[in-house]
Amino acid sequence: MNTLLLIILIIIVLEYILELILDGLNLKARKQPIPEMLSDVYPPDRYKLQQDYEVETTQFSYLQSTLSLVAIVLVLYFGLFGLLHEWIASFSFNKILTTLAFFAIIGFIGWLTSIPFSIWGTFVIEEKYGFNKTTPRLFVLDSIKSLLISFTVGGGLLAIITWIFYATQQWFWVIALGVMLVFSLLANALYSRVIVPLFNKQKPLEEGELLNAIKEFGDTVGFPVNKVFVIDGSKRSTKANAYFTGFGRNRRVVLYDTLIEKMRNDEIVAVLAHEIGHYRKHHIWINFGLGALQSAIILYLFGWLAQSAELSYALGFESASEPVFHLSLLAFGLLFSPIETILGLFTNGLSRKMEFQADAYAADNGLGNSLIQGLKKLSSENLSNLTPHPVYVFVNYSHPTLLQRIERIVAKHFC
């Protein structure tokens, strides 16, 4: 067996073990007593429900990762990616079509095999804990739409990148980076007007107390909030959320109808203030810049490694004499995942820091108490974990824990 393949297999198994350990630690940590400051988040009955939910979702993710581990190891061991490539190549399409066909087949199989898990997650687990509102008809429509979007949007981007790869060896990473940045800016600008309407209805928030409170807050902090939209999240789940999207003139505030239903007006304004805090502290551009830097590193390394046929050989294309883009890309993705995990530690750490800053912005503007109440309510409604394990938080959490956030707000603003 070739060394590169062996390294890939070791990486996959080690990552699986790491995930098992972290999940195990987190499950144990759930039995800790509830911190004093969070004693009013859950009524006792509901906390019992939260604990069961935690166990059930973790066990379900064990099952999923174990099955996908077995599947990927078998596929790699038997060189099935290489065989798939040889079969597609026998049709003698041009190189770009060959790559598109390769990823279309893998993507379709991935989509198909994920459906049973999706059904179980939605109609058994989420249903049991009272979150699910998705009807079978909506589920089918959603699945088909997602597949079509990834085929058209993902396929289009992939075709361009593949073309660049074969056309420009040396400057591949620079040009590909430029294309990806333009693409992500475009995607961001068009997201709420093109993608969201395929799945949800968005209506402007009706005139009334809430809209007035939001506008009034925006005016006092000099951040005019003109477009507030309500999205019908309730057609899929009772879970609540709110977000900001777009840049400049395209930016809009989106509130889930489930959020409006469950939270008081001052709590919603506080959640919004937190989001404005992200804008004010330029977090959107910092994230964009870091993402660009990360893409630059990845593309540079890929462009360099993919010059050789070794990567294609590792995936089972044994007669590889020159690099095959899609096999190299796949092998590179697998080899790169430990570095990605390490980069993830940095980005998650930074993201948690930014969340503290956004909370501080809301609190500085007199909404600390409302934010705390709002966060507590959201945690209870979404059955969030109150006592995650610190190592699990360090690796996986993009937000600080509820306790950390409340402690920080209280320490800074109420003493």
The catalytic residues are 275, 359
| Nearest distance from C-beta of residue 253 to Zn ion, angstroms | 13
Contact stretch for Zn ion (CB under 5 A) within 47-55, 158-166, 192-200, 349-357? 349-357
Smaller CB separation from Zn ion, 88 or 358? 358
CA dihedral of residues 22, 24, 25, 29 (deg, nearest 10): 130
Contact stretch for Zn ion (CB under 5 A) within 46-54, 140-148, 310-318, 354-362? 354-362
Smaller CB separation from Zn ion, 320 or 372? 372
| Nearest distance from C-beta of residue 188 to Zn ion, angstroms | 17
Can you tell me the distance from the alpha carbon of 232 to that of 126, in angstroms, rounded to the nearest whole number?
18
> Please, where are the H alpha helices in 363-397?
368-381, 390-396
The size of the interface with Zn ion (CB under 5 A), counted in residues, is 2
Degrees to nearest 5, angle at CA 65 with 378 and 311: 120
Can you tell me the distance from the alpha carbon of 385 to that of 45, in angstroms, rounded to the nearest whole number?
15
Can you tell me the distance from the alpha carbon of 114 to that of 155, in angstroms, rounded to the nearest whole number?
20
Smaller CB separation from Zn ion, 326 or 413? 413
Q: Which of 327, 326, 301, 331 has its CA nearest to residue 11? A: 331
| Nearest distance from C-beta of residue 358 to Zn ion, angstroms | 5
Contact stretch for Zn ion (CB under 5 A) within 254-262, 284-292, 356-364, 379-387? 356-364
| Nearest distance from C-beta of residue 362 to Zn ion, angstroms | 10
Interface with Zn ion, residue 409, by CB under 5 A: no
CA contacts within 13 A on the Cβ side of 125: 19
Smaller CB separation from Zn ion, 267 or 355? 355
Residue 167 tokens, joined: 């056309």
Contact stretch for Zn ion (CB under 5 A) within 218-226, 295-303, 352-360, 403-411? 352-360
C-beta separation of 115 from 142 below 8 A: no
Interface with Zn ion, residue 367, by CB under 5 A: no
Can you tell me the distance from the alpha carbon of 269 to that of 370, in angstroms, rounded to the nearest whole number?
8
C-beta separation of 315 from 75 below 8 A: no
Binding string, residues 58-97; x marks residues near Zn ion by CB under 5 A: ----------------------------------------
Can you tell me the distance from the alpha carbon of 184 to that of 127, in angstroms, rounded to the nearest whole number?
35
Interface with Zn ion, residue 358, by CB under 5 A: yes
Smaller CB separation from Zn ion, 46 or 353? 353
Residues at the site binding Zn ion, with contacts judged by CB under 5 A: 355, 358
